[in-house]
A and B are shown apart, each in its own frame.
Chain A
Amino acid sequence: MAKFLLRRFAFSIFALIGATLVTFGLSRMAGDPRYLYAQEGGYGITEERWDSLGIELGLNWKDGTPKPVVFQYSVWLGNIVRGNWADSLLDRKPVINKIKERIPPTLKMGLAAYIFATVIGIPLGVLSAVRRATFWDYMGRGFALLGQAMPVFWVGIMLVLVFSVQLRWLPTGTLGESGNNPKYFVLPTITLGWIAAASYLRLVRSAMLEVMDSEFIKLARAKGVPNMVVIWKHGFKNALIAPLTFSSLILTGFITGAVVTETIFSIPGLGRLAFESIQNNDFPVMVGTVLVFTFMYVFINFVTDLLYAVIDPRIRFA
């Protein structure tokens, strides 16, 4: 167990380093980062600022001669670790503050969507496996098929079209003034959670089918164990392992989903910040959001690994 955890932890660290390397590499591949200010449609820059920025960003030594890329990376990484995350090009506010105030809405929405996905996906998956080839099974599979084939952004827009524009039942966007009004959460939650619910449904269904076909289920039935106990205790518990390993994939799908959903529903979260930074060509903010999202991503992966080990004794004692 300890060895497994250590391995996963080391891997998470590597993934984070990889992420910083990729973002740093991309930002340097674009050429001198200062050109982002000076380019056509950029923000403009004076010559003095150009020189001072070179030192600030760790591009040049104090006397103005350029630093090697490795040193540039270490300076950049050092700043990131120390929480010294450059300023937004747009309004000169520190990126880290901007990100901090954008995290709660994203977490709230992600949590709502995750609850939606589990509450809808898992029971429906069990139901469609147990009631195979009946109405419920077709319903469940139809729901999953739609969820996996429809693009997230289109689902969101169509929900707005039907429930906000035509029927006028629900608000078109934002999380409301208090940020806690459940009415505002309905559409974003469905938009974000549908794919996840669909994946859970499919995974639970196929795992359940496999488990319900095994010998120990037949034994339990032969012993006369009540149907509900067979399904939930003998079947479901064993069928849960496979879907759980995919939980990290499902949760990480939320990151892409968050960018799209928050954009559609104008939710002031991290995803929307990422989208705004694209629109404004605000590179520091973009790098910041990508780093935060990557951190969440790696963290989620690590936690699901832990859960996996807790649930499946074969891993715990291997």
Chain B
Amino acid sequence: MANLDTTADILAKNISGADRGTLARMWNVFRRWPIIPIVVLGTLVFTGVFADQLAPHSPYVADPLDRNIPPVWYPPIVLNAQDSSDALSFPVPVNLTVVEAAIEYGIDPTGLDTREKVQAAFLEKGWKARVQFPTWDHILGGDQIGRDLFSRVIHGARVSLIVTAISLGSGMLVGISMGLVSGYYGGFVDEIIMRITDIWLGLPFILVAIVAVIALGQTFTILLVLLALLAWPPFIRNVRGEVLTLKTRDYVALAKVSGASTFRIMVWHILPGVFNTVIVIATLRVGQLILAEAILSFLGAGIPPPTPAWGAMVADGRTYLNDAWWIAFFPGVAIFLLVMSLNFLGDWMRDRFDPRLRQL
């Protein structure tokens, strides 16, 4: 909503700021055009498309040594210590930064060889300490089995993009055509289509989706079909509403008189008239689709693992909140940024192209 301001607002702004500097002018540009959302969205789409080239590591290959390593800005950390006499014993978690450990052992923490000294101090007590260094190699750290989190987040963008693009596309296609038919023919067909839509909207989607996934199997295709089913109702409703008014226009009557077929009238004369509405609804709907996909993945009924889906990554990280918050944090940030920029963009487009849809 931040970008929508009525003329009154803009006028008030302009009157009050008689001597507007460059800063104020820039601020105005940012207010009027959705620049930040477009930049964020562009970055996410770019990383999604070129995930293979951009990701420094494979999102699937795990290195046990990188388990739970912290993001790059963290200080070196003593992760765990193992009984040095027994190589098979289970390491005891320590979770002290190297500096803290150094102070504990009375070592000067500013020296360059602090790490070695700390390890030596541990060894003296009979412990083999594992000191973990955050590296630029793993900017956002590693996940619970040692995969590079940054690469997984980048690949997650691709998964999200593919899922939403396909489900939104097919949902739009079905929704628009059903809306066209329903609005144009009216009567019995209309009644049937609208009642089905109502009933479908009357069902709790996520639960139905879960039942479907369990009953039919957890595959990519089924997820896409389900999300497409989530996508269509608003299209059908709004397109139908538009068509109801469009079909009474003179040019439609003229087309009929000149012998155009029903199909031609619907596709060539009515369809272009609903495009604005469709684009606005699509933008507003994408965010919800992404959230729905994330929730399904989080509940374990979405994209089957090990495909890096953001929702599933947050679910994985949940168990490790105590020692590795970043696993759950960063995928969530990605979802948040994507959905937020889409919402911004959708609001902006609605106010720009179709203010009647304010209620959505």
Residues of A participating in the B interface, judged by any CB pair closer than 8 Å: 11, 14-15, 18-19, 22-23, 26-27, 29-30, 132-133, 141, 144-146, 148-154, 157-158, 160-161, 165, 202, 205-206, 242, 252, 255-256, 259-260, 263-264, 274-275, 278-279, 281, 283, 286-287, 289-290, 293-294, 297-298, 301
Chain B neighbourhood of A150, CB < 8 A: 332, 335-336, 339
The A/B interface has a contact count, at CB < 8 Å, of: 147
Q: Verify A165–B322 contact, CB threshold 8 A.
A: yes
Q: How many residues of B contact A (CB 8 A)?
A: 48
Tell whether B7 is near chain A: CB-to-CB under 8 Å.
no
Q: Verify B202–A157 contact, CB threshold 8 A.
A: no
How far, in angstroms, from A185 to B101 measured CA to CA in the complex?
A: 38
Q: Verify A290–B315 contact, CB threshold 8 A.
A: no
How far, in angstroms, from A19 to B318 measured CA to CA in the complex?
A: 33
Q: Verify A275–B299 contact, CB threshold 8 A.
A: yes
Q: Verify B315–A153 contact, CB threshold 8 A.
A: yes
Q: Verify A151–B294 contact, CB threshold 8 A.
A: yes
Residue of B nearest to A150 (CB): B336
Query: Contact check: which of B1, B5, B207, B295 meets A153 at CB < 8 Å?
Result: B295
Chain B neighbourhood of A287, CB < 8 A: 211
Q: Verify B321–A157 contact, CB threshold 8 A.
A: yes
Q: Verify A151–B207 contact, CB threshold 8 A.
A: no
Chain B neighbourhood of A297, CB < 8 A: 202-204
Q: Verify B299–A30 contact, CB threshold 8 A.
A: no
Tell whether B243 is near chain A: CB-to-CB under 8 Å.
no
How far, in angstroms, from A234 to B215 measured CA to CA in the complex?
A: 53
Query: Contact check: which of B206, B212, B214, B336 meets A151 at CB < 8 Å?
Result: B336
Chain A neighbourhood of B328, CB < 8 A: 154, 157-158, 161
Q: Verify A298–B202 contact, CB threshold 8 A.
A: yes
Main secondary structure of the interface of A (DSSP, over half): helix
Chain A neighbourhood of B206, CB < 8 A: 255-256, 259
Pick from A15, A205, A260 the residue with the most CB of B within 10 Å.
A15
Main secondary structure of the interface of B (DSSP, over half): helix
Can you list 22 A-B pairs, Cβ within 8 angstroms, ordered by A? A15-B203, A18-B199, A19-B203, A22-B208, A26-B208, A30-B215, A132-B9, A141-B1, A145-B1, A145-B344, A151-B294, A151-B339, A157-B317, A161-B325, A165-B322, A255-B204, A256-B207, A259-B207, A259-B299, A275-B299, A281-B214, A297-B202
Q: Verify B204–A15 contact, CB threshold 8 A.
A: no
Query: Contact check: which of A26, A205, A256 meets B295 at CB < 8 Å?
Result: A256
Query: Contact check: which of A19, A144, A202, A283 meets B214 at CB < 8 Å?
Result: A283
Given A145-B1, A151-B314, A161-B325, A18–B299 Cβ distance below 8 Å? no
Q: Verify B314–A154 contact, CB threshold 8 A.
A: yes
Given A152-B295, A260-B295, A298-B202, A290–B211 Cβ distance below 8 Å? yes
Tell whether B241 is near chain A: CB-to-CB under 8 Å.
no
Tell whether B300 is near chain A: CB-to-CB under 8 Å.
yes
Q: Verify A148–B343 contact, CB threshold 8 A.
A: yes
Residue of B nearest to A264 (CB): B318
Chain A neighbourhood of B255, CB < 8 A: none
Pick from B9, B202, B344 the residue with the most CB of A within 10 Å.
B202
Given A29-B216, A158-B332, A283-B214, A15–B199 Cβ distance below 8 Å? yes
How far, in angstroms, from A39 to B294 measured CA to CA in the complex?
A: 28
Chain A neighbourhood of B71, CB < 8 A: none
Given A259-B207, A278-B300, A283-B214, A151–B332 Cβ distance below 8 Å? yes
Tell whether B287 is near chain A: CB-to-CB under 8 Å.
yes
Tell whether B41 is near chain A: CB-to-CB under 8 Å.
no
Chain B neighbourhood of A161, CB < 8 A: 321, 325, 328-329
Chain A neighbourhood of B249, CB < 8 A: none
A156 CB, nearest partner CB in chain B, Å: 9
Q: Verify B195–A14 contact, CB threshold 8 A.
A: yes
- Scoring B residues 204 to 228 as 1 if CB is less than 8 Å from chain A, else 0, what string do you get? 1111101110111000000000000
Tell whether B2 is near chain A: CB-to-CB under 8 Å.
yes
Q: Verify A149–B215 contact, CB threshold 8 A.
A: no
Q: Verify A256–B205 contact, CB threshold 8 A.
A: yes
Query: Contact check: which of A149, A283, A290 meets B204 at CB < 8 Å?
Result: A290
Chain B neighbourhood of A160, CB < 8 A: 321
How far, in angstroms, from A29 to B215 measured CA to CA in the complex?
A: 7
Residue of A nearest to B196 (CB): A18
Chain B neighbourhood of A281, CB < 8 A: 214
Chain A neighbourhood of B329, CB < 8 A: 158, 161
Tell whether B301 is near chain A: CB-to-CB under 8 Å.
yes
A93 CB, nearest partner CB in chain B, Å: 20
Given A151-B295, A154-B332, A26–B212 Cβ distance below 8 Å? yes
Q: Verify A27–B215 contact, CB threshold 8 A.
A: yes
B197 CB, nearest partner CB in chain A, Å: 11
Tell whether B89 is near chain A: CB-to-CB under 8 Å.
no
Chain B neighbourhood of A283, CB < 8 A: 214-215
Q: Verify B210–A286 contact, CB threshold 8 A.
A: yes
Q: Verify B332–A145 contact, CB threshold 8 A.
A: no
Given A30-B216, A141-B2, A301-B202, A263–B299 Cβ distance below 8 Å? yes
How far, in angstroms, from A255 to B206 measured CA to CA in the complex?
A: 9
A249 CB, nearest partner CB in chain B, Å: 9
Residue of B nearest to A30 (CB): B215
Q: Verify B211–A286 contact, CB threshold 8 A.
A: yes
Q: Verify B204–A256 contact, CB threshold 8 A.
A: yes
Q: Verify A293–B287 contact, CB threshold 8 A.
A: no
Tell whether B359 is near chain A: CB-to-CB under 8 Å.
yes
Tell whether B174 is near chain A: CB-to-CB under 8 Å.
no
How far, in angstroms, from A22 to B229 measured CA to CA in the complex?
A: 13
How far, in angstroms, from A185 to B285 measured CA to CA in the complex?
A: 31
Tell whether B25 is near chain A: CB-to-CB under 8 Å.
no
Tell whether B198 is near chain A: CB-to-CB under 8 Å.
yes
Q: Verify A290–B1 contact, CB threshold 8 A.
A: no
Residue of B nearest to A142 (CB): B2
Which chain B residues (1-54) contact chain A, with CB distance < 8 Å?
1-2, 5, 9
Residue of A nearest to B335 (CB): A151
How far, in angstroms, from A301 to B311 measured CA to CA in the complex?
A: 29
Chain A neighbourhood of B299, CB < 8 A: 259-260, 263, 275, 278
Chain A neighbourhood of B214, CB < 8 A: 30, 278, 281, 283, 286
